[in-house]
Amino acid sequence: MAGGIVSDILGTVGIYAWKFLCAISIVSVSGSVSKFALHYYYTAKKQGTHGKMDSWLLGIKLSVVSVVLFVVTAIGALAIVLQRTWVEQITSAFVIGQGFALRALVECFLWGYVVRFNLDETKVRDKQVTVMWGAEKVVGTVSRIDLMHAYIKNDDGVHAVPWTAMQQYTLK
C-alpha cells in the first residue's frame, strides 16, 4: 500500500514539474522572439536603412508588440500552472493596477483630444498664453500643439505643458 502513495505523490510532483517547465519554456521562447526582432531592428537602425521618424515609430511599435506578447504569454503560462480562478484574479489585479498607473496619461490624452477637436492650431499659434502649471506660472507663446502637450515658448525655452495643466489658461 505504501508504494502506491509514493508513486501517486511522485506522479503528481512530476505533472506539476512538467507544467512548470512548459510555462517557463513558453515565456522564454516569447522573450527570445522579441529579443530577435528588436536586435535586427536596432541593427538596421545603425546601418541607416530607414529614416529617423520611421525608425522611431517602428521602434515604439516593436516595443509595444513585444510587451503585449510577453503579457499574453505570461498569462497563458500562468494558466498552465495555476488554477483558472487564480489566473483570472491575477489578471484582474494587473489590469486594475495598470488602469490606476496610466490614469494620468489617459486623462491627458482625452483632454488633449477634446481641446484639439475644439481648438484650431492656426488660431492659437503665436498667441500669448498664461498657464498655472503646478506652482509655476508659465507665460509665453504657443509654438505648436499635439495630442498630449501644448508647447509654450518663452525666454526660458520651450515648455511641453500637458493638457491636464491647461484646463485653466488665458489666451491673448
Same domain, residue pair 142 and 91: no
| Same domain membership, residue 28 and residue 86 | yes
Of 33, 16, 38, 100, the residue nearest 70 (C-alpha): 33
**Residue carrying the nine cell digits 492659437:** 124
pLDDT of residue 45: 67
Query: Given the DSSP bridges, would you call strands 149-154 and 136-145 parallel, antiparallel or unpaired?
Result: antiparallel
Q: Is 23 inside any structural domain?
A: yes
68 and 126 share one domain: no
pTM over 0.85: no
Domain identity same for 25 and 93: yes
pLDDT in tens, 57-72: 666 677 777 778 788 8
3 state DSSP class of 127: coil
Residue 158 belongs to domain with CATH number: 2.30.30.100
Residues paired with residue 158 on neighbouring β-strands, in sequence order: 153
> Is the same domain home to 97 and 127?
no
Q: Which three cell numbers stand for residue 146?
A: 499635439
Give the count of domains, the chain: 2
* pLDDT, tens digit (0-9, with 9 covering 90-100), for 89-122: 988 888 888 888 888 888 888 877 777 666 666 6
- Residue 89, domain extent: 2-101
